[in-house]
Structure 1
Amino acid sequence: MASGTDGGGAQGPVVWALVVRHVAQGPPVAELIVQVGADLHTELVEAAVDSGFVVAAGEPPETTGAIEVADGRVARLVLVGGRQGWEPGSRVEVSPRWLAAAEERGEAVVVIVPPPTRSAGSVGSAGSAGSDEPGEPVESDPEARVDAFTRWLEAHRAAGRVLHGAVPVRGGW
């Protein structure tokens, strides 16, 4: 997982997490989880919906979005048929496993999550005990942080606050 900003501190954080999810049938799924600050979230959601993203339930639809990969990193997420791009402010490394999963399926799934409600909240951080929001890590154990994030993500997915869509991955092969 990696994070960065879009270059404008006033616009809030842009956080990226790359995940390889194993499924019961078929090859693993490459996912790019994106979280932006509240001031950018509406713009990102509008661009995602215009690209064909839907509420994350069931299989993700094909979209007009794409993930561009260059030099072993995510260069940008392209939406609205190439008219809008979202770039991380810091290097977001792409693992060979993630690339292999994207190549095997011919696509990756982009998951757009709601913005943090606290300044410390972000993708990949563990929430406090009993909290449904990520925040400062309660434990340094990576497995505990992943479990806390998974619970947070599933709560937001169940509430209809998460979007997803399938996109091609360009470059990086």
Structure 2
Amino acid sequence: MAGADGNGDGPGDGGPAPMVWALAVRVVALGPPYAELIVELGPGLYQAFAENVLDSGFVLAAGEPPATTAVVEAGEDVLIRLVLVGGRQAWEPASEVRTSTGWQEAARGRNAVVVLVVPPGTWPPDLMDLDPREGAVALTRSLESARAAGEVLHGLARYARLDT
């Protein structure tokens, strides 16, 4: 899992987190694994972002994510942007979000990325201070709680590898 926030302050350091990005690979029983992009925006950006993802075809996270008009663009080893609303809106991490070989392979394998949009406050506040395994458990628990509460949006975005 890798993440980046919008201003250098983020979960665990006491500062605001206007935009936090995390990457994960989800292994499934049938077929190749899924690349996932999990995005949390702070209250000041969340409403506009939520409108963009809904306009792109995202729905409440229940069942399989629907195909959307969204595109996740990545370079050789870095996430570049999430393009929404048929190419009219682009959201970029303010700092570098590195992709792993496994994440890139999963994205290429399905030519798609599952994008999860979580509401402000979903990231555990001390996430960056935890051991990576403990952090993964804490984040998973928080994501499942938000999903159960009907607060997570999801969709399947096309994957585009760009030469950087």
- State the TM-score, normalizing by the size of structure 2: 0.87
Matched, 1:56 2:61: yes
SS of the counterpart of 1:64?
Answer: strand
Structure with more contact order per residue of length (Cα contacts < 8 Å, sep ≥ 6):
2
CA contact (8 A) 1:65 1:80 kept: yes
Q: Indicate the residue corresponding to 2:6 in structure 1.
A: 5
**Displacement over 2 Å in runs of 4+:** 137-141
Amino acid at match of 1:26: G
Residue 25 of structure 1 corresponds to: 30
- The letter for the 2-side match of 1:159 is A
Judging by fraction of residues, say which structure has more strand: 2
Residues in 1 aligned to 2:108 and 2:20: alpha-carbon distance in whole angstroms: 23
Pairing 1:84–2:89 present:
yes
Q: Does 134-143 or 77-86 show the bigger shift?
A: 134-143
Give the whole-Å Cα distance in 2 for the aligned partners of 1:172 and 1:58: 30
Deviation at 1:12, TM superposition (A): 5.2
Q: Which segments of 5 or more consecutive residues in structure 2 lack a partner in the other structure?
A: 9-15
Q: What are the Cα deviations for residues 121-149 of structure 1, in whole angstroms up to 9, with x where unaligned?
A: 73xxxxxxxxxxx1125973221221111
Matching of residues 6-155 of structure 1 within 5 Å? 13-116=18-121, 122=123, 134-137=124-127, 140-155=130-145
Equivalent position amino acid for 2:39 in 1: V
1:165 and 2:151 aligned:
no
Q: TM-score, normalised by structure 1?
A: 0.83
Query: Which amino acid in the other structure matches residue 157 of structure 1?
Result: R
